[in-house]
Structure 1
Amino acid sequence: MDHNRADAGDLAEYGYEQELKRTLSAWAVFALGFATISPVVGIYAVVQLGFVFAGPAWIWAVVIAFLGQLLVATVYAELSSQFPITGGVYQWVRRLGGPRLGWLVGWIYLASAVASLTTVAYLGSSWLHMLFSDSALSPVAHVLLGVVFIAVALGINLLGVDPVKHFLNAGIVAEGVASIAVSVFLLLFARHHGFGILFDTMGAESASGGSVAAGFVTCLAVAGWAYLGFDATTQVAEETEQPRRSVPRALLRSYVFVAFTVMLTSIAVTFALRRPEDAVSGMTADPVFDAVTQGLGGWSEKPFIVVVLIAFFACAISIQTYIGRAVYAFARDRQLPCSAQLAKIGERQIPWVSLTATAVLAGLGLLLGLNGNAAATLISFGSGGFYFIFLAVALVALFARLGGRWNPAAGEFRLGRAGLVINVLAVVWLLFEAVNIAWPRAELAPPSGSWIQVWAVVLVFSALLVVGLAYVAIAKPHTRLSPNPSTEEVKAL
């Protein structure tokens, strides 16, 4: 097709050949973003802790986090329109902030992404167990079921782009329709409270030393976990038809639609809980499951578990999809050990070696599940690490914009003068939220956890940064980049 040839020519201007199969429509990219952010996985990441720290008023933390991350998603949309290249944040920071900084941001991004795949597989395995058994789940069984998630995600990805598209489309139907339909039913027929409950903490501030403000800020840190993954759309730019237009639109549409579903489900669950005070005290460990099964009846238990499982599998598949592309983009630029192998493209025009390598790494991460405290550390970093990436990208974009190194008007997604205001507001939001998520809180650590769990995000991020800096200093990967006369590489930094 003519536009495919034009897209390949566009890619050549950045110094790359068209190796991946360019068959993804705007809808397929939307499906990838939807499955990665995942309203079901997102709501389960925040609802229980939200009640504990802010009571029914936790809804407002979800709303604020949505607005803050919408600013970030808009900056990402501008960048993806300007640079329609697989690699996303690595490519953007490399070109606007310099190759050394690009490598460091890409390195931490890869680590966070692998941790998120491990986290989704680990959490999803509990639901897989619930589908077949009511018995307690042992640590060994937990890890093995997590391996099943990663194996399925890898297997579907290795079949090629088309099977991934079909599965994610089915996932949208199952997850999106079911979530919205169940939420509407709960609001219409299983509502036990009025709108006023959304302004009631029900004493949840006791978990934060009696301070309502402290409890809400903690809840806001947790709410940020629900809005991760919209950048997955940028990793398939070289497989997308007309990416300068399709990718930013799919990014924003998937984010807004997921956010709408998350907020609708949050309100429905809060209104439907017969005893929300039990969720605040922790007696109700799973408010969503309780609200749904009480509202719909006992028959809905297994069907609801199936819907949640579909969401977790779709999320794992989509994460595996974009991680494989991120590693491929890194390896194609000879930025990693064994780059020649990791950059290989198979007969189905997919980076099968990178996909396999990341699945193995995520599987090894599941071994931390043998120790509950170690698993909690991984989950904390898997959520918090991305906010440091968001902040780095937003800052680099802002400085490049102000310094004249980036002209957003060259992309098809243009915000004009509003782009600068949005970029500044995104940086302010991310400075607050990154510190808020990383802030050491004993109340967010496991009851039997050590200081390592309390400082998990800071410790893991610092360790990765030290390793990354050492690798840059010793291996000098930035010197292996091929010169690209059509793209200005910033050599400062």
Structure 2
Amino acid sequence: MTAPLSRSNADENLLHSQGYSQELHRGLSLWSSFSVGFATVSPVVGIYSVMSLGAMSAGPSWVWIVPLCLALQLLVALVYAELASQYPLAGGCYQWVKRLAGDRWAWFTGFMYLASALASLTTVAYLGGFWLWLFFTGEPPSANAQVFCGAVLLLVGLGVNLFGINPLKYFVNAGIVAEAIASIGIGVLLLLFFRNHSLSLLFEGLPATEGADGSYFSGFLTAMAVGGWAFLGFDACSQVSEETADARTSTPRAILRSMILVGLTVMLTAFAVTLSYTNTAGMVSGQIIDPVTPAVVDAFGAWSERPFVGIVLVAFIACVVSVQTYIGRAVFGMARDSILPASALLRQVDKRKVPFAAMVFSTLFASFGLALGLNATAVGTLIAFGSGGFFVVFLIVVSCALLARLSGRWKAEPGTFSLGRWGLLVNLAAFFWLVFESINVAWPRESLAPPGAPWFQVWAVILVFSVLAVLGLIYMFWAKPYLRSPVLQLRTE
């Protein structure tokens, strides 16, 4: 009788069966994989991204958008969990589309994913730079200072990542503690002891929230677009699959747990701040860009502002570190198939089993993007594309999975996470949600752009995506990078 394989041997054999050898350090547990996903989606970063814009769009009743977007985005996470269980590989969506739809679509998906992820990394570093400067000076930063602080955060994140997977775990765990204090702890206290409004406020749509056409429905659609921003990044767990023990079981669990817990945390904070903040009209009118910090200071006193800013800063640092981590793995996962320029360098792994060149590459590109922060219009365009691009990538992946199911090519392997007979229904619902939300997020809205913004910023998602898509397709048909990809052969060099 053959002895059962150890968990580590089973992971390596699975990787070998997919055409690769174990090059990264498989040192992440289920908790650590969940931590990477949680820190990437980040309730703190999410709530600061959506709360003011959501309230401006739909009034205090915007909070009900959060559970709706969570439920719909969870459909996407379920499809991703199935794919991550079947193909637990660095490269994530690139690897899945490669096996579902072929090398051409895989290359295009990976290209758009990297573009969106790098825009996201720049955005998080730029926004985190505000809190870094505020923590040390007590004053909002100038444009130059915010860009400088964003670059500092990128260098800190790079340093943490280059030391290997173990230091990464400690930083991400610190971020989770900060998130728990800033979101869960403070949210519960605000609800229990510092609530200034009755629950009826949550069912109000104030006149200031009407859309450009004078209808509340227009504001609702805008709030839906904004609400979707809070639930991006859960796929980070799939990018670190080759560093996760028992990846077929752990990765799908990490994806779903991070998504659900982040969603519940964002809901708690949204409800708590909306019910406790006294200047509701100012928040809805857009005069108050950050209603969270004033709500905390009003409740706990002036002494609490600096510690709260420090906690938020730690959460942003953890988010930067984890976003850099998964982008580096995405670059590595594509480069080892030789489909990126300088692939021979980008797939190199150092003695700490870190894809160091891929990490440096992603940090440099995000740093170049930070220069856009010197111009409010340019950085607004970048932020808009970063969110819209992810939804288009989600749509490509979910569409490929749906076509595989409908054509009978979907084969769930034993031991993988599976939705069973519900798979087709969930996949179909996720597809329709992403068609709607991709259009909704990309829809040109002056209400989501700064006052007086030029037309190209209002059309940012469509323009930037179209330009990148055309450039990507030109390169794909000219250089044919997909032909360099090995047909599932084990690399031995």
TM-score grouping bracket, smaller chain normalisation: over 0.9
Residues 105 and 392 in structure 1, CA contact (< 8 A), matched pair in contact too: yes
Distance (Å, rounded) in 1 between the aligned partners of 2:178 and 2:297: 18
**Using a 3 Å threshold, how does the CA distance of structure 1 residues 136 and 241 change in structure 2: closer, same or farther?**
closer
Deviation at 1:178, TM superposition (A): 3.5
Q: Which residue of 1 aligns with 2:293?
A: 289
Report the AA paired with residue 149 of structure 1. Answer: L
Matching of residues 341-360 of structure 1 within 5 Å: 341-360=345-364
Cα distance in 2, alignment partners of residues 103 and 253 from structure 1: 29
Distance 1:135 1:29 in 2: 36
Write the distance in 2 (CA, Å) between the matches of 1:299 and 1:309.
17
The answer as to 2:370 corresponding to 1:366 is yes
Task: Give the distance between the partners of 2:381 and 2:314, measured in 1 at CA.
Answer: 26
Residue in structure 1 matching 2:438, options 423, 434, 441? 434
* Amino acid in structure 2 at the alignment position of 1:147: A
- In the TM superposition, what is the alpha-carbon distance from 1:276 to its structure 2 partner? 0.7
Match of 2:313 among 300, 309, 315: 309
Please report how far the alpha carbon of residue 283 of structure 1 lies from its aligned counterpart in structure 2 after TM superposition. Answer: 2.3
Q: CA offsets per residue over residues 259-307 of structure 1, 9 Å max, x none? A: 1100000000011011211111122221111111111111110011011
> 1:469 corresponds to which residue?
473
1:470 Cα offset (Å): 0.8
Q: Which residue of 1 aligns with 2:21?
A: 17
CA distance in 2, matches of 1:165, 1:372: 34
* Alignment match, 1:97: 101
1:188 — aligned with what? 192
**2:165 corresponds to:** 161
Tell me how far 1:209 sits from its aligned partner: 3.3
Q: Is the partner of 1:482 in helix, strand or coil?
A: coil
Aligned residues of 1:51 and 1:204 also touching (Cα < 8 A): no
Please report how far the alpha carbon of residue 6 of structure 1 lies from its aligned counterpart in structure 2 after TM superposition: 1.4
State the Cα distance separating 1:435 from its structure 2 match.
0.2
Paired position in structure 2 for 1:59? 63
Counterpart mapping for 1:137-156 below 5 A:
137-156=141-160
**How many Å separate the matches in 1 of 2:373 and 2:174?**
30
Give 2:224's aligned residue. Answer: 220
For residue 120 of structure 1, the aligned residue among 112, 120, 124 is: 124
Q: Distance in 1 between matches of 2:228 and 2:479?
A: 35
- Residue 456 (str. 1) matches residue 454 (str. 2): no
The Cα shift of 1:409 comes to: 4.8
For residue 474 of structure 1, what is the amino acid of its counterpart? W
| Aligned residue number for residue 328 of structure 1 | 332
CA drift at 1:158: 0.3
Give the partner amino acid of 1:454: V
Q: 1:403 to 1:288 in 2, by over 3 A?
A: same
Residue pair 2:58, 2:210 contacting (<8 A) in 1 also: no
Q: Do residues 41 (structure 1) and 45 (structure 2) align? A: yes
Write out per-residue CA displacement over residues 4-34 of structure 1, whole angstroms, 9 at most, x where no aligned residue. 1111111001110100001110000000000
**Of 242, 256, 275, the match for 1:252:** 256
Q: Which residue of 2 aligns with 1:490?
A: none
Contact 2:46 2:231 in 1 (8 A): yes
- Structure 2 distance, partners of 1:259, 1:154, is 28
Q: Cα 1:403–1:485, aligned 2, differ >3 Å: closer, same or farther?
A: farther
Q: Specify the SS of the correspondent of 2:420.
A: coil
CA contact (8 A) 2:30 2:254 kept: yes
Give, as a single letter, the amino acid of the residue that structure 1 aligns with 2:184: I
**Distance in 2 between residues matched to 1:88 and 1:264, nearest whole Å:** 30
Q: Which stretch of the first structure deviates more once superposed, 158-167 or 442-451?
A: 442-451
Q: What CA distance in whole angstroms lies between the structure 2 residues aligned with 1:44 and 1:289?
A: 10
Q: Give the Å deviation of 1:471.
A: 1.1
Secondary structure of the residue aligned to 1:230 is coil
Contact 2:88 2:242 in 1 (8 A): yes
Cα offset, 1:411, TM superposition: 5.0
- Three-state SS of the structure 1 residue aligned to 2:11 is helix
Contact (CA 8 Å) 1:79, 1:408: kept in 2 or not? no
Contact 1:53-1:208 within 8 A present in 2 as well? no
Structure-2 residue corresponding to 1:234: 238
- Mark the CA change 1:61 to 1:188 in structure 2 (over 3 Å): closer, same or farther: same
Of 198-207 and 289-298, deviating more is 198-207
Q: Equivalent residue for 2:396? A: 392
Cα distance 1:254–1:136, how it changes in 2: closer, same or farther (>3 A)? closer
1:200 CA displacement: 0.2
Aligned equivalent of 1:171 = 175
SS of residue in 1 equivalent to 2:210: helix
Residues 136, 264 of structure 1: CA spacing in aligned structure 2 closer, same or farther, 3 A cutoff? Answer: closer
Answer yes or no: is 1:3 the counterpart of 2:30.
no
Compared CA separation, residues 45 and 413, structure 1 to 2 (3 A): same
**In 2, distance between residues paired with 1:7 and 1:137?**
47
**Aligned-partner Cα distance in 2 for 1:313–1:201:** 35
- Where 2:262 maps in the other structure, the secondary structure is helix
1:208 Cα offset (Å): 3.1
List alignment gaps of at least 5 residues for structure 2: none
Q: Give the alignment's TM-score, normalised by structure 1.
A: 0.97
Runs of 5+ unmatched residues, structure 1: 487-493
- Aligned partner of 1:489 in structure 2 is none
Distance in 1 separating the partners of 2:11 and 2:408: 26
Distance in 2 between the 1:410 and 1:143 partners? 49
RMSD, aligned CA: 1.3
Judged with a 3 Å threshold, the aligned counterparts in structure 2 of structure 1 residues 450 and 411 are, in CA distance, closer, same or farther, namely farther
Instruction: Map Cα deviations across residues 351-402 of structure 1 (whole Å, 9 max, x no partner).
Output: 0000001100000000001111000000001111100001111100000111
Residue identity (%): 52
What code does the residue aligned with 1:367 have?
Answer: A
Q: Check whether the contact 2:196–2:276 (CA below 8 A) recurs between aligned residues.
A: yes
Q: Distance in 2 between matches of 1:171 and 1:278?
A: 31
Cα separation, 1, equivalents of 2:208 and 2:67: 19
Per the TM alignment, residue 410 of structure 1 is displaced from its structure 2 partner at its CA by 4.0
Aligned partners of 2:210, 2:332: CA distance in 1, in Å? Answer: 48
How many residues matched?
486
1:129 is displaced (CA, Å) by 1.2
Separation in 1 of the partners of 2:181 and 2:238? Answer: 25
Q: Distance in 2 between matches of 1:64 and 1:136?
A: 34
8 Å contact from structure 1 (residues 33, 232) kept in 2: yes
C-alpha distance in 2, partners of 1:423/1:411? 20
Q: Indicate the SS of the match to 2:235.
A: helix
Q: How does 1:65-104 map to 2 (within 5 A)?
A: 65-104=69-108
Separation in structure 2 between the aligned mates of residue 220 and residue 461 of structure 1, nearest angstrom: 20
**Distance in 2 of aligned mates of 1:276 and 1:485:** 60
